[in-house]
Amino acid sequence: MKTRVIFNPHAGSADASDALRSAVAAEPDAYLCTCAAPGHGLRLASTASEEGYDLVVAAGGDGTVNEVVNGLARDFDGVALGIVPLGTGNDLARTLAIPDDPAIAFQLALHGQRRPLDLIRVEGAEKTVYAANVCAGGFTGELDEAMTDEMKAAWGPLSYLIGTVKALPDLDDFETWIAWDDGEPERVEALNIVVANGRTAAGGRPAAPRANPEDGLLDVVVVKKCTSAELAVLAARALTGDYLDSEHVVFRHARRLHVEARPGMWFNVDGELHTDEPITFEIVPGALRVAVGPSYSATPKMP
């Protein structure tokens, strides 16, 4: 099996990088390509099919995985995806039960079970991209602004909790219109909107804990207008399990979702800020074959 490994050298520890390099070197048909700059992973993935590769392995964090997924969008049917989680968040890998050990994750990419992963097509005013895990807007935009690279480096996954505390005093509510599937737009006073295929975001924070990445449906979570104190209680509940039955939450499934907001609601796509313009999300069922861990279950185990 001819395999291209797209490696982000800025993700993970030196020991993890060395373990990955050794694992790749032991496979005669595996080739390691190091990303030189943002966007390089996308370009490397986009040429994989025409260059005869059967498998592309994203070795990095969720951003690297997103670049590779968007590169493969030219030919989803032709190439399978593997993941070696080396980043801070590794949220898609968490949903897919892929272990952190680079050598084990690489062997799973080569020889593990493969499942048909849904993707989210994200259409904005200027471009269309794909998400494999979670898109989020509103309060999440405030959190992204509160986060710094220094905070992530110093605190790792805990940085997301610290960023939440920093962002709480600056919350705004949005006058939002949501159109579910082909329905008419509905007005909602929303603090946050999550459109999910995977279950966690921001380094393991439950975003859509009931998500099934193979069911052909978007999991949509809307956090309604509430006080900072109520939101803090909701966040604490989310950290300990399923928060979707809260009175402050609207949880629904859809195949297509259109969102407009005033003021403009910034959305991120798999953790990267994308746009504050009107935006449409649409599920692409079973778009990509992806290697999963041995304990993976499409239906989540509820706490």
Domains 3-114 and 123-286 share a fold: no
Instruction: Name the H helices within 4-119.
Output: 14-25, 40-46, 62-72, 91-95, 102-111
- Please state, for a pLDDT cut of 70, what percent of the chain lies above it: 83
CATH hierarchy code of domain 123-286: 2.60.200.40
pLDDT tens column, 205-222: 888 889 999 999 999 999
The confidence score (pLDDT) of residue 166 equals 54
pLDDT tens column, 248-292: 889 999 999 999 988 888 888 998 888 888 999 999 999 999 999
pLDDT tens column, 214-250: 999 999 999 887 776 777 677 777 766 678 888 888 9
Contacts with 26 (C-beta within 8 Å, 6 or more apart), sequence order: none
Residues paired with residue 33 on neighbouring β-strands, in sequence order: 6
Q: Which of 159-163, 181-185, 195-199, 298-302 has the lowest mean pLDDT?
A: 159-163
> What is the pairing mode between strands 3-7 and 30-34?
parallel
* Entry pTM: 0.87
Asked if the 3-114 domain carries CATH number 3.40.50.10330, the reply is yes
Mean of pLDDT values over 24-30:
94
Mean of pLDDT values over 48-75:
91
pLDDT tens column, 132-178: 999 988 765 555 555 555 544 544 444 444 455 455 555 566 689 99
Among the listed residues 4, 1, 13, 75, the one whose alpha carbon sits nearest the alpha carbon of residue 40: 4
Query: Domain segments of the chain: what residues?
Result: 3-114, 123-286
> What is the pairing mode between strands 200-201 and 205-206?
antiparallel
166/145 Cα distance (integer angstroms): 10
